[in-house]
Structures are given as C-alpha cells and as structure tokens.
Structure 1
Amino acid sequence: MRIDRGLGQRVWAYVCSAPGTYLWLSVLFVTTVALHHMSPHFEQEFLRQRSTNIHELSNDPGRVLLQSAMWIDGGKWLPVAFQYTVFHAQAERWLGTLRWLMVCAAAHVLATLISEGALLRAVQDGVVKHSAVNTLDIGVSYALAGVVGVLAYRIVAPWRYLYLAVVFLVYGEPLLDAPTFTDLGHFVSVLIGLACYPLVIGRGPAWDPKETVSALRG
C-alpha cells in the first residue's frame, strides 16, 4: 500500500501543534488497553481506588484528582480521541499548552470538588444512601466541558451565541430532570471554562465560520 508522505507529515505536524492533548490521549490509550486485560471485579475495585469519590477525596485528594484523569470509564477510547481532536487540540493550539492546561485543571479540580460537595450534602441530609461516598467517579469529561466552554471566546459573534446556546442545551438539559452529581459537575465545568476569559486575552483573532466556508468553496 502506497503511503502518502505529505499527508503523514501534515498529520504529524498537527499532532505536534497540540503536544499536551495527544500526550494525554496516548496515556488514556495505554490505560484503556490495560483495563481491557482486567477482570470485571478487579477493574471496578482498581478504578474505585483512583476515583474522586467522597471517601478517596477525604483520604488523598491530590492523588485521586490526578489519577482519575488518566482513565476512561467504559473503555471507549475512539470517541474520546475524536473529542480531544475537535476540542482539546483546538484550544491548546489557540491558548498555548500552559493556558490550555490551566483551563483543564481548573475545570477538573473545581467541578469535582463542587459536585462531590453537593453529593456529600445530599448524603448528610439523607437524600441519597451513604454508600454514595464510594461512587465510582473517574474520567476526563469535566476538563473537556471546561474546554468546550472556553472555546466560545474563539468564535466571533453572532456565531458565538449560537455555539453557547447549543452548549447550554447539551449540558443544561440533564439538570432539568433528576440530575446526578456528574450532570452538575459538567455544567459547572462549562461555567468554569467561561470564567477563564482572562486566559484568552491576546490569543489572536477569533474564528469566523463564515470565512472558513467561503475559503472551502473558493
């Protein structure tokens, strides 16, 4: 099979333009493969020890906040790779690796603490069972939601408002009917991303979808 060297070089250049995104994605690939070699019982216990649930956060918050972002609940890597390419890579190329990482960390850490704090309050009030303190809570979705939020500043008006309307519909609709603590965490993550506006100042011109469509046509 003939390999298009030019295409390969362009793909490699694109990957190198967002090193943090694809390094993180590579770690997730390795950990996902590792999960597929575990028995179901061992996998659940293994992930629970790396989960940002109330019990683990109380014992070792720094460790689990870091480790929980290195695993994917459910083991579906390809959809995550698509999301990283569409959102994370764009944000990292625009903001730079350090600022992109700051958005990811803020969303992951703060949304976790806020959502687990809400769950703890529900446990204390007897709204949910005490066993919820050991709920499995791993993954990278809070960081993703934060990046989705901050990317609103990458788009020119009026398209920015259409983008935000879709974002709030996707992340806000679950809160209207029996929301879970993860639904709350996702919505909070979007708000945290929007609150990262100071990080986007001076990061270059906004993207105009209309200009992109015109360029593709012409």
Structure 2
Amino acid sequence: MSTRWVESFVVLVVLIGWIVVHYDWPGGRQLRTGLLATWAWAGANPATATLWVLVALHCWMLAGLPNRLGQQVLRVHSTNLAALGRDPVTVLFASAMWTDISDLLTLTVTALLVLGPAERWLGTARMVGVFLTGHIGATLLTAIWLEYQIAHGHLSPSIARTVDVGVSYGTWCTAAVLCYRLPMRWRLLGFAALAAYFVTVYVENRTFTDLGHCLSVAIGVLLYPLTRAESVRARAAGRWIRVPVLPATG
C-alpha cells in the first residue's frame, strides 16, 4: 500500500471519529472517554507524551519519503562518528527524536510501561535528566570505543557513517533507574534480567548498538542518588500504571 493511500486512510479514520464523537453516534461516548483518558495521561506525563509525538511526527515524515532519501535523512540525524564530528550537539539531541516507523509500537509500549511511570515517580525534570544522561552518555562512550576500534584496525572506517538513531539508550537507562522503585528482591532480579539480556545480545551480535545498550543500563544503575530525593521516595508507593480519573459526564 502506498504512503498516499495510508495518509488518506488515516485522514478518513480521523474524520469518521470526529463525526462519531460530535454527533454522539453509537460508540461516540466510549471514543470520547478514550480521547479524554489519552489527554489526561499526556498531562500527567508531559515529557513522555512530547517525545512520543515528536518521534511519531518524524516517523510519519519518513513514511512519505522514498527509502533511499529516508535513509539519508536518518543518516544526517544519526549519532555516528561522522555526524558527531560535524555537529555533535545537534545530532546528540536530534537522534533521540528519529527512528524507523516500525519502532513506533515499541516506543508506545515503553512509554506506557517505562517512561511514563518513571516520569510520575521521579518527576519530569529528573526523568528528562535520566533519559538524556543515558542517551548522551552511552552515545559518547560508544563513539570513543568505535574510534579506538577503527584506529587499531579492528573495524572498518565505513562504520563511521552507519545510521544510529532512536530512543533506546535513554529508555533503557530509565528502565535501569526504574528498577530502584521495586522491592529489594525484585530490584535485584530486574537488574539481573536487564544485564543478562543485553550482555547476551552483545556477546552474540557484537554490534556497537548492543554495546550502547549495555552502557546505558550501567549508567542507569549509577544514577541511584536521584532516587533518594524525599519527593521521589514519597511517590514510590504509587501505582505503576495509573489510569487517569476523568470527571463524570452527564
């Protein structure tokens, strides 16, 4: 199915949804409730919601481009060695807002299970700090490792232009910090599961992205002091998944 047909289908679905809600057709009340719940969730998780919207818009933009041009766009915003050497500040931030459209579902799930709960627990500012620390820290450490490997002839110089975008470094760093919210017996299990999974994947694949995931989890473990703030500790007993409470409607 072409991108134009997909765009037309989405516009049609949105239009039908608006008509159903506006004229209170069957299902309109349930749809309105779902939209209000989504809006309330976004209000409770503003940073997570903003990130999701930015990534979704960029995915939509990529979906409308030919594959080769889309890859060029991703390469421009990538945190590969070439881009880091050319414009490090821009790509360090922009790379977290671009990804393939196939990863949007993964981002949605992690927004509900990881980023959103972390934002409500840590607070928006701390959660953004954790996410950026993991994303930037793992990216720079991986870049240093790549420079060393290329300089010593262990990797081809062509890897300096590999596409490397997405939210995974920041997300998995946040997941590691979120483990500190668990009771001690589950906390250790959470750390062990994250470490075992990413170390195993790295040993099997030996890609720099897998190394970055290992580093992002390690950075999250080191951010323990952020979880000891009094306000953070007070919110630790809250629900992991909190369904927004909507006002009663007549």
Q: Same fold (TM over 0.5)?
A: yes
Which of 226, 230, 233 is the matching residue for 1:204? Answer: 233
Residue 170 of structure 1 aligns with which residue?
197
Query: 1:1-218 counterparts in 2 under 5 A?
Result: 1-2=26-27, 3-4=29-30, 8-73=35-100, 75-201=102-228, 202=230, 203-205=232-234, 206-207=236-237
Task: Give the unaligned 5+ runs of structure 2.
Answer: 1-25, 240-250
Distance 2:103 2:203 in 1: 27
Q: How far does residue 75 in structure 1 lie from its aligned partner after superposition?
A: 3.7
Distance 2:178 2:106 in 1: 19
For the 8 Å contact 2:75–2:164, the answer to whether it is kept is yes
Residue 19 of structure 2 aligns with which residue?
none
Give the residue type in structure 1 aligned to 2:194: V
Distance 2:98 2:126 in 1: 23
For the 8 Å contact 2:63–2:101, the answer to whether it is kept is no
For the 8 Å contact 1:53–1:134, the answer to whether it is kept is yes
Q: How far does residue 85 in structure 1 lie from its aligned partner after superposition?
A: 1.2
Structure 1 runs (4+) greater than 6 angstroms displaced: none
Structure 1 residues 60 and 87, CA, compared in 2 at 3 Å: closer, same or farther?
A: same
For the 8 Å contact 1:150–1:194, the answer to whether it is kept is yes
Q: How far does residue 73 in structure 1 lie from its aligned partner after superposition?
A: 3.2
Distance 1:75 1:104 in 2: 21
Give the residue type in structure 2 aligned to 1:119: L
Give the residue type in structure 2 aligned to 1:185: G
Q: How far does residue 26 in structure 1 lie from its aligned partner after superposition?
A: 0.5
Task: Give the unaligned 5+ runs of structure 1.
Answer: 210-218
Q: Please, what is the CA RMSD of the aligned residues?
A: 1.8
Deviations, residues 150-184 of structure 1 (Å, cap 9, x unaligned):
00111112111122221112212123234111111
Q: How far does residue 208 in structure 1 lie from its aligned partner after superposition?
A: 9.5
For the 8 Å contact 1:107–1:192, the answer to whether it is kept is yes
Larger Rg over CA atoms: 2
Distance 2:68 2:50 in 1: 29
Give the residue type in structure 1 aligned to 2:121: W
Give the residue type in structure 2 aligned to 1:50: H
- Calculate the TM-score normalised by the size of structure 2: 0.79
Q: How far does residue 7 in structure 1 lie from its aligned partner after superposition?
A: 5.3
Deviations, residues 95-124 of structure 1 (Å, cap 9, x unaligned):
010000000110000100111111111111
Which deviates more, 114-123 or 161-170?
161-170
Deviations, residues 34-80 of structure 1 (Å, cap 9, x unaligned):
00001111111111111111011011100111111110135431221
Residue 215 of structure 1 aligns with which residue?
none
Which deviates more, 12-21 or 86-95?
12-21
Give the residue type in structure 2 aligned to 1:101: V
Residue 216 of structure 1 aligns with which residue?
none
Q: How far does residue 12 in structure 1 lie from its aligned partner after superposition?
A: 3.0
Identical columns (%):
33
SS of residue in 2 equivalent to 1:52: coil
